[in-house]
Chain A
Amino acid sequence: MSFHRIILTVNGSTEQVDVPGNMTLLQMLREKLALTGTKNGCAAGECGACTVLMNGEPVNSCMVLAAECNGADIITIEGLARDGQLDVIQKTIIEQGGVQCGFCTPGMLISARALLNRNPHPKEEEIREALVGNLCRCTGYNRIVSAVKAAAEVQ
Chain B
Amino acid sequence: MINPHPGLPELEYVMPASLDEASKFLIEHTGEAKPFMGGTDCFVRLRDGAWNLKYLVNVKGLDGTNEIRFDPKNGLTIGAAVPMNKIVSHPDINKHYPLLTEAARTVASYQLRSRATIGGNICNASPAGDTIGACIVYGGKLNVHSIKGKRLEPLASFFKGPGKTVLEPGDIVTSISFPLPPPNHVGRYIKLGRNKISDLAIVGVTVLGYPDSNAKSGYTFKIALASVAPVPLVPLKAEQILADKPLNENIISEAAQAAMDSCTPIDDVRSSARYRKYMIRNLTRQALTDVWQKIKK
Contacts and interface: CB of A to CB of B under 8 A. Distances in A.
Given A45-B43, A133-B110, A133-B112, A22 B7 contact: yes
A2 B12 contact: yes
B9 A130 contact: no
Name which of B11, B39, B85 has the most chain A CB atoms within 10 A of its CB.
B39
A36 to B, nearest CB: 12
A65 B13 contact: yes
Contacts of B9: 22
A106 B282 CA distance: 42
B7 A64 contact: no
Contacts of A67: 13, 15
Interface residues of A, number: 37
Interface in A123-155: 129-130, 132-134
Interface in A1-16: 1-2, 4
A73 interface: no
A129 B13 contact: no
A105 interface: no
Given A63-B112, A67-B13, 7 more contacts: A22-B7, A24-B7, A26-B6, A45-B112, A54-B114, A64-B39, A132-B110
13 contacts: A2-B12, A23-B7, A23-B8, A24-B7, A43-B5, A43-B6, A43-B47, A45-B44, A58-B114, A63-B43, A65-B56, A114-B110, A133-B198
Interface of A: 1-2, 4, 21-24, 26-27, 30, 40-45, 48, 51, 54, 57-60, 62-65, 67-68, 111, 114-115, 129-130, 132-134
